[in-house]
Chain A
Amino acid sequence: MLYARLIIMRLLKAVIVLFLIVIFNFFLIHMAPGDPAVVMAGEAGATDAEFLNQLREQFGLDQPLYVQLWNYVSGIATLDFGYSYRQQTPVFDLIMDRLPATLLLTGTAFVMSLGLGILAGSMAAARAKKLSGSLIMALALVFYATPLFWVALMAVMLFSVQLEWLPAYGYYTVGTDLTGFALVLDIGQHLILPATTLALFSMAVYTRMTRTSMLEASQQDYVKTARAKGLAPGVIQRRHILRNALLPIITLAGLQAGQMVGGAILTETVFAWPGIGRLMFEALMQRDYNLLLGIFFFSAALVIAFNIITDLVYGLVDPRIKESS
């Protein structure tokens, strides 16, 4: 089946890209200032010569570069991303521990930005010649230009400090033994601000794209036919225009995945959300390069996963894909 072959091709491509990133990471470690052993130990963390010598031996840093590259690549193939000496834990464990929070945050923001963006964009397209349509577009432009970390801080200011509606920090209320539904509700409350601020930028992108795409689709002959048939304008908007306008938006959603993952670094930093973005900030503060590069690898993997999902959705929405490619 062609659809299955498409998926296999995408997975193969993903493996190649990830492999290249691993090689890239290897050279970055060697580009970092100073002795790679020092770098891996976390610059100022451990400096006694014996420990460094031990590290050099352990990592085979006395061996030729290609042997080191081979060791590094084969290590990662067995999920060995090295050791974070700063946190005294393997990098892989640290990341796995934080990954669920990031998946929850980016996933929520992804769905939210798509839903609200398409809604706002189709409203703007239907009111293209009216003031309300222009207002939506002006607002979208402002969101597009707003620095994410700033809007996050301002949201904390307004909704947590001034109005005291929502919690400003963390993943759940510490010190309470919530279970079941109460816990879900608690996490949900903590999720609202980070997810909304993370969604804003992509939402603006989708709003603009939906409007353009729908205005283009409304010029098509089949829309004229539908109008001539006497179909209600609302039905034409939803069934004929929007459905066809969705395809470029799904393509765009794949490209926005990188934006989401990058934005999560900033959002998680501001909201102390315990995901890999916050972990990256911590790694950055401590100059823990091993951890930093491990997170970089995982963020790329996350983007690729998002891309594959959007490709699958594209195939479901557009039946032509199954036959033509």
Chain B
Amino acid sequence: MNFFARFAQNRGALVGLIILTTIILMAITAPLFFPESPWRMLQRPFLTPFEVDGFPMGTDTMGRNVAAGLMHGAWVSLLIGLVSTTVALLIGLPLGAIAGYYGGLLDDALMRFTEFFQTIPSFALAIVLVAIMQPSVTSIVLAIALVSWPPVARLVRAEFMSLRNREYVEAARLVGQGNTTIILRQILPNAMSPIIVLASLMVATAILLESSLSFLGLGDPNVMSWGYMIGAARTVIRQAWWLSFFPGLAILLTVLALNLVGEGLDDALNPKLSRERS
């Protein structure tokens, strides 16, 4: 069975992929449907959904188009999710690889370091980091990456520990390949599949984190995001439920879709394991 057939066997993963594709399309086409800035006040505030043509989700407290905010917000959520996961991988991968490959004292020291970061409550740390660095896309990405790399390091370390004494690694060593070459060319490719699965789940967590930060008012003041929309509508929930309902639903669907896709990837990349598990 090829990769996609195994992936598609998991119905949930297929549904997740469809939702995710829709959201990516939303993000890409946002400037086409709503060329104006989502911050512009276009109508009177508190329009209910479908009350006025062109405002299918109504307007917010300042008369901004909720539908436009939703589509532009998709772009921000996906971007921050992807970039912060990439940065977290860039921190966690080398640390985990070095700890797992070399072992010994170096491993001990790196794992203590990782444990320290795992003990600190991640959301509180993210809040403090963004508040100190001042809210911006860069500081949010950095803060999310800094609180989410430890699981990567642990996973990569475990993979490297189990792979470092395999025969093909011994063979590479005998041929005279250096440690760096062995790490990058021999072990890493074979450790890739669980890392890919973890990364897809991390994008989901990062999107949740970003929305929570911007809900608390720590979003980049220049970009429209789902969390900001909910946070701004929090105090008027009694008058205007739709202002927080739709962006929240968007976050829920995106995170759900990424989790489903992650499970599907797990099935497709580790066919033996998943069969044993179910």
Contact = CB atoms under 8 A, between A and B. Distances in A.
Interface of A: 17, 20-21, 28, 31-33, 141-142, 144-151, 153-154, 156-157, 161, 212, 215, 255, 257-259, 261-263, 265-266, 269-270, 280-281, 284-285, 287, 289, 292-293, 295-296, 299-300, 302-304, 307
B85 interface: no
Given A149-B215, A150-B248, A154-B248, A262 B122 contact: yes
Contact of B121 (A154, A262, A292): A262
Nearest to A147: B251
B55 interface: no
B128 interface: yes
A293 B120 CA distance: 13
Interface residues of B, number: 42
Contacts of A156: 237
12 contacts: A31-B133, A150-B251, A150-B252, A153-B234, A156-B237, A258-B121, A261-B123, A265-B123, A281-B216, A296-B125, A299-B121, A300-B119
A293 B131 CA distance: 10
A266 B216 contact: yes
B132 A32 contact: yes
Interface in B115-138: 116, 118-125, 127-129, 131-134
B259 A307 contact: no
Interface stretch (B98-106, B166-174, B204-212): B204-212
A255 B216 CA distance: 24
Contacts, number: 124
Contact of B127 (A151, A263, A280, A302): A280
Contact of B123 (A28, A33, A144, A263): A263
Contact of B216 (A21, A265, A307): A265
A134 to B, nearest CB: 10
A52 B124 CA distance: 29
* Chain A binding surface, main DSSP class: helix
A292 B131 contact: yes
A90 to B, nearest CB: 20
Contacts of B247: 150
A289 B131 contact: yes
Contacts of A150: 230, 244, 247-248, 251-252
B127 A284 contact: yes
Contact of A287 (B119, B131, B231, B244): B131
B109 to A, nearest CB: 14
* 8 nearest A-B pairs in the assembled complex, by CB-CB distance: A262-B123, A150-B248, A145-B256, A145-B255, A258-B121, A299-B124, A261-B121, A32-B132
Given A142-B252, A265-B123, A270-B234, A292 B128 contact: yes
A31 B9 CA distance: 51
Contact of A212 (B255, B260, B277): B277
B216 A17 contact: no
